[in-house]
Amino acid sequence: MPTITLPDNSQREFDQPVTVMDVSKDIGPGLAKATLAGKVNDKLVDASYLIEDDSMLQIITDRDPEGLEVIRHSSAHLMAQAVKALYPEAQVTIGPVIEDGFYYDYAYEPGFTPEDLEKIEKKMQELVKADYEVTRSVMSRDEAVAFFRNMGEEYKAEIIESIPENEELSLYSQGDFIDLCRGPHVPSTGRIKAFKLMKVAGAYWRGDSNNEMLQRIYGTAWLDKKALKAYLHRLEEAEKRDHRKIAKKQGLFHFQEEAPGSVFWHPKGWTLFNKLISYMRERQDDAGYIEVNTPDVMDRSLWETSGHWENYREHMFSTTTEDERVYALKPMNCPGSVLMFSQGLKSYRDLPLRMAEFGKVHRYEPSGALHGLMRVRHFTQDDAHIYCTEEQMEQECIDVIELILDIYKDFGFDDVVIKFSDRPENRIGSDEVWDKLEGALVNALNVMGKDYKLFPGEGAFYGPKLEFVLRDAIGRDWQCGTLQVDMNLPERFDISYIGEDGEKHRPVMLHRALFGSLERFTGILIENYTGAFPVWLAPVQVVAIAITEKQEEYTKKVADTLKNQGFRVDVDLRNETIGLKIRDHAMQRVPYQLILGAREQENNNVAVRTRAGKDLGAMSVEDFVLLLEKDIAGLGRIELED
């Protein structure tokens, strides 16, 4: 009879097989009421799962991350039950969990309207109140095909027909609704507390544009109404901060169909972009990096050697020339960097060699995945490759991690989560090499006392990696920087250095990006700051505004004085009211406005306003320069919004 070992290593013995819920009840009624599912020997299962042998058990409640996933999965079924109750002729197809929620695809010829979504959501709430028990049953594949076809669910039957013949299938029932699903699900519909249907969209059956168009309803679900309200508030804030809208208002960039996934940078946007590069170039110089540049187009043979042709070809742009040579636009900078290292003999005295590159890379992304600056096909990486000895590897990892975290602080990102991804199933290199590489990353984090989250099997095909996830001003997470350790590409390209013993040795290669994609990081900054950039980063730091045409020459003189000292200044000499000019530049989120009228001209000073409308009074140009310098020296942390 089973002995159940709990996470605290306490044990409970039973004289007969028990379900996860039985164990919860044995521990206490409060836990039973909170139980959503269980984890038996690391496998996520229903609360009704029967445990027959000695097992490790974790009770899953709303305090566990898995609990939210189960709720979202069950919410998709709840929505499908509501749809079938209201629109019996609709056929259900596929309904997975996605980030922050779920969706379900339906074959429904009339299509769903926003008013239909309101009705479906109301019906879901009724089903929650009914608190239907959710039960699991099994069928053979052929039985399941016949069962769903008899119900008129042709799409579901087609899905099942594609499953191997001998596979046993699980079905879940709640009330009069039954659906094919692997589970697990909540014990009853009453456990689903907070959800909202968000939108309806079209989706091709099985993602194939040759197939019929289905109706996809998106929803979100959370542990409680407070969490749902917070999420909806974040969405409202995100809408206000959409970098594409802000870019249009401020004239930063645009996109066109003639170059999908590629950015047309306008002067102000290009200034912002280059300011980020200048900042990173200075930080890298201080950290002992050298900067190089490698070609954008290289022969297929290079990508075969690196392993990209085999493992990454579907994301690469390639072409064949008249002499039948195949070339590819580089999706990554690393092979070019290796070729740079291979030029000339290297000694152990040359290592670590930190080689940085602001390289343009090109990756095919499906058109539906493109999203402003956040997902593009042509972008710039602040890439670097560090070549070092095995003995230097751990310290170089520590130095990179410290640099990344310090840089993020300069942009106001103090809340950073580190993800560690170990060896994927599809990889190159021996297990022995992977053991060394994974050990170097983990040891570096442990030495620094940094917490991290493990993501098994999500490393790159050539090495494990760390990913650095930033939390922005409204609580959204963005994955930006990466650090990967690699002994496989040096082996494949047969690069070496001469050691202290006079023999050839293989270097370790660290792949490192701090911003990641500069385009994406720019988009993150636009949304994080709502276009109100710190003074040091703002495309225009100061605008000098003439009240009347009599102050035009004085306004130009003040602007030239500031420009000559390296500040980014615009001049507004328009024949408009001063109120309109002030409002226009406040909308542009220019940090400082200098209002220049007859009094300022007479006294040879400037009247200063912040973008939030705070009047700093009159001061000399010299004093204003000191204010600007102080602001920039603090990387813009003087609060302009007060």
Active site (annotated) includes residue 388: no
449/453 Cα distance (integer angstroms) = 13
Helix (H) or strand (E) holding 633: helix 621-633
Q: Are 540 and 572 in contact (CB under 8 A)?
A: no
Active site (annotated) includes residue 494: no
Active site (annotated) includes residue 511: yes
400/288 Cα distance (integer angstroms) = 11
330/363 Cα distance (integer angstroms) = 8
- Residue whose C-alpha is closest to residue 92's, from 172, 136, 157, 146: 157
Q: Are 386 and 400 in contact (CB under 8 A)?
A: yes
Q: Which residues of 260-285 are buried (b: 16+ CB within 10 A; e: fewer)?
A: ebebebbebbebbbebbeebbbebbe
Written as one letter, the residue type at 397 is C
401/398 Cα distance (integer angstroms) = 5
Among candidate residues 81, 174, 250, 381, the one labeled active-site is 381
Helix (H) or strand (E) holding 239: helix 225-240
- Residue whose C-alpha is closest to residue 394's, from 436, 357, 429: 436
Active site (annotated) includes residue 383: yes
Active site (annotated) includes residue 254: no
56/7 Cα distance (integer angstroms) = 8
Cis peptide before 184 (omega within 30 of 0): yes
Among candidate residues 362, 377, 385, 427, the one labeled active-site is 385
Written as one letter, the residue type at 466 is L
Strand partners, 177: 174
Give the count of alpha carbons within 13 A of 244, CB side only: 11
Active site (annotated) includes residue 397: no
Among candidate residues 334, 388, 397, 480, the one labeled active-site is 334
The DSSP-derived string for 474-497 is TS-EEEEEEEEEESHHHHHTT--E
Q: Are 47 and 38 in contact (CB under 8 A)?
A: yes
Q: Report the length, in residues, of the chain.
A: 642
Among candidate residues 465, 568, 589, 609, the one labeled active-site is 465
618/172 Cα distance (integer angstroms) = 73
CA dihedral defined by 277, 283, 288, 291, rounded to 10 degrees?
0
Among candidate residues 363, 375, 520, 611, the one labeled active-site is 363
Active site (annotated) includes residue 385: yes
Task: Report the chain's terminal Cα–Cα distance, integer Å.
Answer: 68
CA dihedral defined by 532, 541, 381, 511, rounded to 10 degrees?
-90
Q: Are 373 and 519 in contact (CB under 8 A)?
A: yes
Cα three-residue angle 100-102-108, rounded to 5 degrees: 150
551/542 Cα distance (integer angstroms) = 17
Beta strand extents in 72-116 (DSSP E only): 91-92, 97-98, 101-107
Q: Which residues are catalytic?
A: 334, 363, 381, 383, 385, 465, 511
